[in-house]
Structure 1
Amino acid sequence: MFSLAQKLLNRSIISATLLLSASAAISAEKPTLTVYSYDSFTSDWGPGPKLKQAFEQQCQCTLTFVPFEDGVTMLNRLYLEKGGKADVLVGLDNNQLANARQSGLFAENNVDLSQLALPIEWQDRTFMPYDYGQYAFIYDQQKLKNPPTSLKALVERQDLKVIYQDPRTSTVGRGLLAWVNTVYPQDQAENAWKTLAKHTVTVGKGWSETYGAFLKGESDMVLSYNTSPLYHQIHEQKDNYAAAEFEEGHIVQIELAAKLKKSQQPELADQFLAFLLSSEAQKTIALHNIMLPVIKTEVEPRFDQFTPFKTLAIPFPSSDDSKAQIQVWQQALSQ
């Protein structure tokens, strides 16, 4: 016969077991939202972890980020999977828009876009902006005292060691592709790439790799964004990094998010996209992705005082244009 103490102990064990089972059942019932993005967005120092924490508190769901080296690689993976494994894609840009539209993999969203504040009016209902910036070459002011003042000067300056990203795998590389093809006439672009190749240290697959190499001192300048020095100022208290301002003007990149037609969680996907435009998310993205917010909101004094460079263009190249430009770039580097 069980003693009273044993009976109470058994009841406690049973109650604890039932509580754990109920908790596990509730956890198992939580829907999962799968978001593809690029590695610097999802990294510990990127906005991904903070966005995940904040959104999960709102949605009672599990947000899973799947990182890729860059936006181009991510989109190519999506093509191979035929859009069947992700709910949302974060990290496309205006240079990829034509290809993304033609894929037929994305669905219109139900997000209120009236609050957007961009350099251009945005009307697309499928691809939603979440930040933007201007491409620029970054340098260390303590090491480089006479930075080039134009893109043409950068191309010609053989004394400068340069790093940029591969336009076949990197959205930032695509930005330089658009920049060169905007500044140079069509019949001069190949020559410009050849000249630049003579003092290019490396052409990397993605931004993280190339910017890291620059910080290690492997080049004088690296292709990034004119907001990049803000990262060093805000997070490292360093003022030695600067963006070279070019007289021709700077190409603008608008980063985009979209939900997949085959999403298993379409309503949750819309909820996440709407969350990305909230003041809380926009501040997190600006401070950790070091890009400008797409709505009018206060971020941080240095961000709020930031003045963009002269805007050269916001390119929206067709698939054929992109293919032709990449082919010219490849031909120039292979000779």
Structure 2
Amino acid sequence: MKLSMLAAGLLALALGTAAQADEKPVLTVYTYDSFASKWGPGPEVKTAFEKTCGCTLKFVTAGDGAALLSRIRLEGKRTKADVVIGLDTSLTAAARKTGLFADHGPLPKLDMPVTWTDPTFVPFDWGWFAFVYDKAKVKDVPRSFEALAKSNLKIVIEDPRSSTPGLGLLLWVQKLYGDKAGEMWKRLAHNIVTVTPGWDQAYGMFLKGEADMVLSYTTSPAYHINVEHDDSKGAALFDKGNYMEIEVAGKIAGTKHPKLADAFMHFITTEAFQKLIPTTNWMYPVIKLSSPLPKGFAEYRPKISLLYPSAEVPKIKDKALAEWRDALSQ
């Protein structure tokens, strides 16, 4: 009896050890909601990376990009993230200041409107912000913030405190109007139906007809053309330029899986990842692809690209945010 119990115990131990040996390491990637959604790049990125990594790729969502940084700050060195994907250049200076991110390795040749020199964050897509509208409803498309403010068009925007598009709009107005940015926000206040926490909510309201225009991207109409076969949406190009967004990924310095995290950071700039971006995240890839971009990507390209260097954003953000808050509270 004792011998059989001992044998059973040894067998259980052996099976347990074998099971542990078969367990795959889990690489945890924090990202924003739409990236990991079933229509975003997340599911296909997971499938493609897991074919080569011998691991399980786990996405954890945290709202929009600005909310993502807030979560990382709150968790600090206790964070369970190995990689964060979904910040942008308006947030990288603040993210670097946390001391939580490690530098990346060599990058391939990138194909973007700007030269990339950031040693810590790796770009994974880029695009321009724009007010998207329904062509059947908006005939006189504004080509400036002044024209928008003079109109009766109703717009939905995102909160710059929780959303990267919202922060992009804040910087866009600041870039064009400087010390007079607060005055422009006061002029725009009557156009704003509401301010949502993130892009998902804002775009949903627009699609339901609750606003004439929504702050989104110049590539948003391409989604409707290619997925819904619907050419009814347009993107307003402003004469003085549209603000750019470059989205990035960063490796957590304290990750328990440094080699896997490095492998994922490298994977981000390969064609296997980048070919998914145009038709899932509906943004431009950061490398030149072997296949052409989808229909609609060439139609709405601003002549002037606006972008603050990431190091300048913290210097202007607080003042710009205070002016925005003041203007919309009146």
Q: What TM-score do you get using the length of structure 1 for normalisation?
A: 0.89
Would you say 1:169 and 2:156 are equivalent positions? Answer: no
Alignment map for 1:176-191 (pairs within 5 Å): 176-186=169-179, 188-191=180-183
- 1:114 deviates by 3.1
Give 1:133's aligned residue: 127
- Structure 1 distance, partners of 2:300, 2:185, is 30
Give 1:326's aligned residue: 321
Calculate the aligned-residue CA RMSD, in Å.
1.9
- Structure 2 distance, partners of 1:258, 1:146, is 42
Tell me which amino acid in the other structure corresponds to 1:251: Y
- 1:185 deviates by 3.2
Shift in alpha-carbon separation, 1:66–1:145, aligned structure 2, 3 A: same
Query: Would you say the 8 A contact 2:125–2:247 is kept in 1?
Result: yes
- 1:65 deviates by 0.3
Give 2:113's aligned residue: 119
Give 1:74's aligned residue: 68
Tell me which amino acid in the other structure corresponds to 1:99: A
Give 1:146's aligned residue: 140
Bigger Rg over Cα? 1
- Structure 2 distance, partners of 1:285, 1:291, is 6
- 1:286 deviates by 1.8
Deviations 1:223-252 (A, max 9, x none): 000011111111111100110111111111
How many correspondences in the alignment? 315
- 1:19 deviates by 12
Q: What TM-score do you get using the length of structure 2 for normalisation?
A: 0.91
Give 2:86's aligned residue: 91
- Structure 2 distance, partners of 1:100, 1:223, is 24
Give 1:290's aligned residue: 282
Query: Would you say the 8 A contact 1:133–1:226 is kept in 2?
Result: yes
2:40 to 39, 43, 46: 46
- 1:266 deviates by 1.2
- Structure 2 distance, partners of 1:308, 1:302, is 13
Give 1:103's aligned residue: 98
- Structure 1 distance, partners of 2:297, 2:13, is 53
Query: Would you say the 8 A contact 1:140–1:220 is kept in 2?
Result: yes
Shift in alpha-carbon separation, 1:231–1:18, aligned structure 2, 3 A: farther
Query: Would you say the 8 A contact 1:214–1:222 is kept in 2?
Result: yes
Tell me which amino acid in the other structure corresponds to 1:231: Y
Query: Would you say the 8 A contact 1:127–1:258 is kept in 2?
Result: yes
Deviations 1:124-158 (A, max 9, x none): 1211100000000000101111111212211232x
Structure 2 alignment gaps of length 5 or more? 1-11
Structure 1 alignment gaps of length 5 or more? 1-16
Deviations 1:81-126 (A, max 9, x none): 104311001011111122112111100112x313211111111121
Shift in alpha-carbon separation, 1:77–1:252, aligned structure 2, 3 A: same
Query: Would you say the 8 A contact 2:157–2:195 is kept in 1?
Result: yes
Tell me which amino acid in the other structure corresponds to 1:204: T
Shift in alpha-carbon separation, 1:239–1:128, aligned structure 2, 3 A: same
- Structure 2 distance, partners of 1:324, 1:124, is 25
- 1:189 deviates by 1.3
- 1:318 deviates by 3.2
- 1:25 deviates by 3.5
Tell me which amino acid in the other structure corresponds to 1:246: F
- 1:311 deviates by 2.5
Give 2:204's aligned residue: 212
Shift in alpha-carbon separation, 1:55–1:299, aligned structure 2, 3 A: farther
Give 2:149's aligned residue: 155
Shift in alpha-carbon separation, 1:183–1:294, aligned structure 2, 3 A: same
- 1:303 deviates by 6.1
Would you say 1:271 and 2:266 are equivalent positions? Answer: no
- Structure 2 distance, partners of 1:51, 1:270, is 15
Give 1:253's aligned residue: 245
Q: Secondary structure at the match of 1:185?
A: helix
Q: Secondary structure at the match of 1:101?
A: helix
Would you say 1:239 and 2:231 are equivalent positions? Answer: yes
- Structure 1 distance, partners of 2:305, 2:52, is 40
Shift in alpha-carbon separation, 1:41–1:301, aligned structure 2, 3 A: closer
Give 2:273's aligned residue: 281
